[in-house]
Chain A
Amino acid sequence: MNPTIELLYLIGSVLFVMGLRGLGHPESARRGVILSEFGMAFAVAGTLLHPHIVTYKWIAIAAVIGSGIGIAMSALIPMTKMPERIALSHAFGGLAAALVGVVEFYNHGHHLDHIKAGAISFEVLFGGLTFTGSLIAFGKLQGIVPGRNITYKFQNQSNIVVFLLTVAMMVTVTMDPSQSVVFYCMMFVAFLLGVLLVIPIGGADMPVVVALLNSYAGLAASATGFALGNNVLIIAGALDGASGFILSVVMSRAMNRSFANVLFGAFGSAGDSPAAVADSEGKEVREASVGDAAMLLSGATKVIVVPGYGMAVAQAQHAVRELGEKLEENGVQVSYCIHPVAGRMPGHMNVLLAEANVPYDQLFELDEINDEFQHADVALVVGANDTVNPAAKHNESSPIYGMPVANCDLAGACIVLKRSMNAGFAGIENELFTSENTVMTFGDAKVTLESIIENLI
């Protein structure tokens, strides 16, 4: 144990924790990032002193290319592509961890003790499935892979078989580290497992998947730490794992579903039940022109905007902000209600609205603002669907019953901007759309908002 290296690792770990603590408030967050950057610098500096390193050539080349790609990616990617970007970087994290594990096994396979072999297997398993799983998640978000939940017969059963097979192989390698064939088979099955686990999960459940993959990437890094006897890896991996875990719990709770249900339950199929549809039968949607919508908004004193994934698709965040500003100039109080699972990743709507220059003190979490709807004159729903469906509150036969939803139905009036009458992700009718207080304006949210702004009095 080299004391200099260990000391640098210790400083790095402390800085990581302090950096994360900074993220507790928007004011201190950027300082936190800088602290963690120093933490990473210390950890890397310590590693460069490692006695096994004989040449810096490949390290330097890879670091330069990697930095170039990293800088380009972070500078060029539009905020609307953030879920894709996050999914892709989970893939890189998983890949790096898996490769380190493979090399460790390749070089030391025969001399490994049980614990190291177990740690390496775990690392390759989680790293591998994070890699392919994140690539599939990326593909789904990007539209390369169909975003709908893809299901086939005996899906869960076959996944469980594959999973048990992987665990069995992991145990075998741990018990007998000389089983290299089993080890490499396990690696391939881990890659396969990543694909199998994510492919059935639909687009709107992506926030949970992305958070969970975040957690897996962390666990893989921690396992690397166990394999190498390296504490900064264990600590950083544990922090990462905890973060992903917390986010997935928050996301699942916001959908009133268990982990198991998100991962193994095909959501869309439940929506076919006739009971869920029956409620709105015979009721008609009232369509409002852009002028009507503008009139409603002009007459309001308190407006709550409820954005959903549709706002991201239409890239309507700037138009939303512009409308909000115009209304405020006219003395209207404007706030935003952010549902935790609106969009395709945790916090998606916040980032888009912040990008469009909406001050963060106007963005409210669902719990904070949900009692305000009854005092609001207008709830303006921009591309949200399931997160505003009142059926979740009272219709026990609805597949989304129990999920927390925005109380748009309690506002004086509700304007829904929507592309078409298609059902939302859950495939169920939304009774908000047929409620007496609601008017709907169809079309591209961005175009609609822009014409509403022109029509404001």
Chain B
Amino acid sequence: MTPELFFGLYVFILAGFVGYGVIGNVPPLLHTPLMAFTNAISGISLVGSIVIAGAEYNNFSTILGFIAVLAATINVVGGFLITDRMLKMFRKKPGGNS
């Protein structure tokens, strides 16, 4: 058990609680946009893949890194765009006031 692991566990568990609290507030109305949105955020794997694709450790790593960046970018770009496209459709009744 290293201090680094403990530090990581703190971050993970506390972030999990924050996520639980924040996402618990998302109304069922928006559950599909929520999924698309977290898809985009899961594109954070980009952070790991970018280093691998650019570090030229060896060909194997570069190819896998390339595919990983590709897949993660599709998620980030596609995820954010489609979330916004969906959210744009949710509108109130014109003149309604609830």
B-binding residues in A (CB < 8 A): 13, 16-17, 19-21, 23-26, 29-30, 32-33, 36-37, 40, 43-44, 46-48, 50, 52-56, 58-59, 61-63, 65-67, 69-71, 73-75, 77, 79, 82, 85-86, 89-90, 92-93, 95-97, 99-100, 102-104, 106-107, 113, 115, 210-211, 214, 217-218, 220-222, 224-226, 228-247, 250, 338, 340, 345-348, 350-351, 354-355, 357, 359-363, 365
Contacts and interface: CB of A to CB of B under 8 A. Distances in A.
11 contacts: A20-B37, A33-B37, A50-B50, A100-B48, A103-B68, A106-B61, A214-B38, A230-B48, A242-B19, A355-B89, A365-B28
A229 B48 CA distance: 10
A74 B72 contact: no
Contacts of B88: 30
A63 B39 CA distance: 17
Interface residues of B, number: 86
Contact of B4 (A17, A29, A229): A229
Contacts of B76: 40, 66, 70
Does more than half of chain A's interface fall in helix, strand or loop, or is it mixed?
helix
A66 B89 contact: no
A221 B45 contact: yes
B50 to A, nearest CB: 5
Contact of B54 (A25, A26, A58, A211): A58
B29 A218 contact: no
Given A234-B15, A361-B92, A85 B82 contact: yes
A77 B36 CA distance: 13
Contacts of A86: 32, 35-36, 39
B32 A345 contact: yes
Nearest to B34: A23
Interface in B3-23: 4-5, 8, 11-13, 15-16, 18-20, 22-23
A350 B74 contact: no
A48 B50 CA distance: 7
Contacts of A225: 8, 12
B85 to A, nearest CB: 6
B16 A99 contact: no
A350 B81 contact: no
A428 B57 CA distance: 58
B19 A59 contact: no
Contact of A100 (B52, B70, B73): B52
A346 B75 contact: no
A36 B80 CA distance: 9
A205 to B, nearest CB: 16
B92 A93 contact: no
A362 B73 CA distance: 36
Q: Which 3 A-B pairs have the closest CB atoms?
A: A66-B73, A242-B19, A347-B31
Interface string B43-75: 111111111111111101110111111111111
Contact of B74 (A19, A66, A351): A66
B47 A361 contact: no
A133 to B, nearest CB: 14
Contacts of A226: 5, 8, 12
A81 to B, nearest CB: 11
A102 B5 CA distance: 20
Contacts of A96: 43, 45-46, 48-49, 68-69, 71-72, 75
